[in-house]
């Protein structure tokens, strides 16, 4: 049950983009088409989960034992950058069209604060673990749920922007202005999930 609560909380209640405002750059930049949003969501999910595992093990086995915690941010960025390069090479060979569609935003995953933020939270054991002892398993579940929450928000937002492209909007709010208003309304909609994890926990307790 606790693992299910982690999933629900990370995807809906504490959505990394709409509640914690991390990963805003790709959220706004790669949300014009649903297909592109799906590709970015998949790439972020892969990088986030693998980066969380690798950075957690580095933190426990290398940085903490040798007193190198001050190198955490630099080491984590290097790990994420290497993983992004791997994703970039794979996409270029397997799906050139998606690689072209993602464009400059694919390398920007390297500096995506969503990935770095989750990696640091899991490594430090400061994420919302629903009362569970922070460890690698709960960290992986939290990272996967966070990535799915990011992908969900990105795809829903892309769908809304596709619909907006088919309707007439006032000239003063065309382009990014109406996108930001829509993002704000989407964030308000997700606020409706607030407390649902606690309600489920009380129901099954």
Indicate the pTM of the whole model.
0.87
CA distance 109 to 131: 31
Q: What is the pLDDT along the chain (205 residues), one digit of tens a residue?
A: 778 888 888 999 889 999 988 888 888 888 888 988 888 888 888 889 999 999 999 999 999 999 999 999 999 999 999 988 888 888 888 888 878 877 777 777 777 789 999 999 999 888 765 555 678 899 999 999 999 999 999 999 999 999 988 888 888 788 888 999 999 999 999 988 887 867 776 766 6
CA distance 59 to 205: 35
Read off the tokens for 50.
């693998």
CA distance 119 to 55: 7
- Using DSSP, state whether 23 is helix, strand or coil: coil
């Amino acid at each position: 049950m606790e693992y299910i609560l982690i999933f629900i909380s990370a995807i809906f209640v504490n959505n990394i983009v709409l509640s914690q405002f991390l990963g805003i750059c790709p959220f706004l930049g790669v949300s014009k088409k649903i297909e592109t949003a799906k590709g970015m969501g998949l790439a972020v999910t892969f990088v986030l989960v693998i980066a969380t595992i690798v950075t957690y093990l580095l933190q426990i086995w290398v940085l903490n034992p040798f007193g190198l915690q001050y190198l955490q941010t630099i080491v984590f960025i290097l790990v994420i950058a290497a993983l992004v390069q791997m994703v970039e090479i794979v996409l270029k060979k397997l799906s050139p069209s998606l690689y072209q569609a993602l464009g400059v935003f694919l390398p920007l995953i390297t500096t995506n604060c969503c990935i770095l933020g989750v990696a640091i939270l899991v490594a430090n054991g400061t994420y919302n673990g629903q009362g569970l002892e922070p460890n690698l398993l709960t960290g992986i579940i939290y990272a996967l749920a966070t990535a799915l929450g990011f992908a969900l928000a990105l795809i829903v937002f892309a769908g809304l922007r596709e619909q907006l492209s088919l309707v007439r909007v006032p000239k003063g709010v065309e382009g990014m202005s109406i996108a930001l208003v829509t993002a704000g309304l989407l964030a308000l909609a997700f606020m409706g999930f607030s407390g649902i994890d606690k309600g489920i926990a009380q129901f099954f307790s």
